Structure 1
């Protein structure tokens, strides 16, 4: 079909641009604000991170994203959108030196989404249903055309200040118009359950090393504890306590990797009072006890702590 042919041609152009502006493995910033290009010539182990709101498009290769107990597989026939900062893990499944994994990531500015939703969504379209803040949709020609027009600007950097914001806005608009666009719209609707859950997420991340007080969080966003728990899980695929645990453990891993501290000290810094509990939960998440995991990471990365 002509549409499929058009998508394939645009995808080939996207591959060429990512190869041109990366050159070597890693995550590369560009002259276009919020646009990153990612390249890997080999499969990766499972990498944990706090994923900020973004559009991710795999131009070549295949990747899997894990959120809670859910698995999201995406490749060049689809695109992934993260609508709220979420603790996730990802793994490149298909990559080689001949055909490297190539990905484009466009980070979202929350205010821009809010302004766009305010302009284009009627109040009658509001819904009380909460939707998962991560979704995968089938790639379409209209969206990839806009993405390719954005990356072409790297060839004419003088056009970036004027054209990049306009094309980025178009990309956001195209995503919002899709059936699953509600996953993004919900956070821009003042008073919605999703908007309140987003505030709860910010509070948890701001005080992740403190005991979790569901009653206080509920009162702060004017929700009952049961309602908060229900909508939090609908949006993030995990409970508030599970969310806090993932944030704590990821931060502890960062501390252990970059600072010369003992495991118990890192656990204490992120809020654990029991070293045995910290070691147990760390091993459950990362596959081995803290110091063994960090030694393996440092050896594989050639990492030296001063």
Structure 2
């Protein structure tokens, strides 16, 4: 990432280390990376690969802003009494973002485990297939509730911060404040996209344990498309990989090894994408902790 290169070339900017934020390369790079991420999160949909790429870019952005906060000039500026309220609110907000990121990852782990159980039941072709599927669906519904609570908690902090924090655009310290606030909003927007992964619906009609797999995954796609305006889905191109073989392909009357294998492949694809997102969320979680530590180390606190 270009941003990483800036961090690596920090030594080449030693002479400018005490310059105001607006003229420092880190501030310019943060602005540039924020612009790229804004373009990403305003899309109508994102594939899981695009989400992973966005999370990696977001990590690089946090690396840059951490370097920006550590600059002696900014440390001094952020120690000013009029920034103390913002720092306290930012620390409160950082806890909520950490909670949201951690919850998303934990729920992905749980759902991936249910996918593995479903794969095993399909492989054995036993009577537990339907119960495993419903366990997966229940897990998704519970995840949605927990994640919604995290977003609600974040919203309360965000509203409080917006109403009480005035950003002076001409102040160098406030330039840093503004960049960090925008970074946090971009983070929430990207995590909101990822939350669409948990849109799972229970099939209404009674069906065989084989067709239930296909129906649940199809319902999952439709549910995400219905929530498109609120949280956006992961893109039709990507979701097509999660839809298991059709009802005509798998049924109680006509099940063979080839058709079961197709269903297994679809579930394996879903599991792999979950694992990728888990990894990126874990890396982001660590960056968020580092960012919080940097804020706590500001002398005014």
By the TM > 0.5 criterion, same fold? no
The two structures have a TM-score, normalised by structure 1, of: 0.28
- Of structures 1 and 2, the one scoring higher in RCO (CA 8 A, sep 6+) is 2
Question: Which of 1 and 2 has greater Rg?
Answer: 2
Higher helix share: 2
Instruction: Please give the TM-score of this superposition, normalised by the length of structure 2.
Output: 0.28
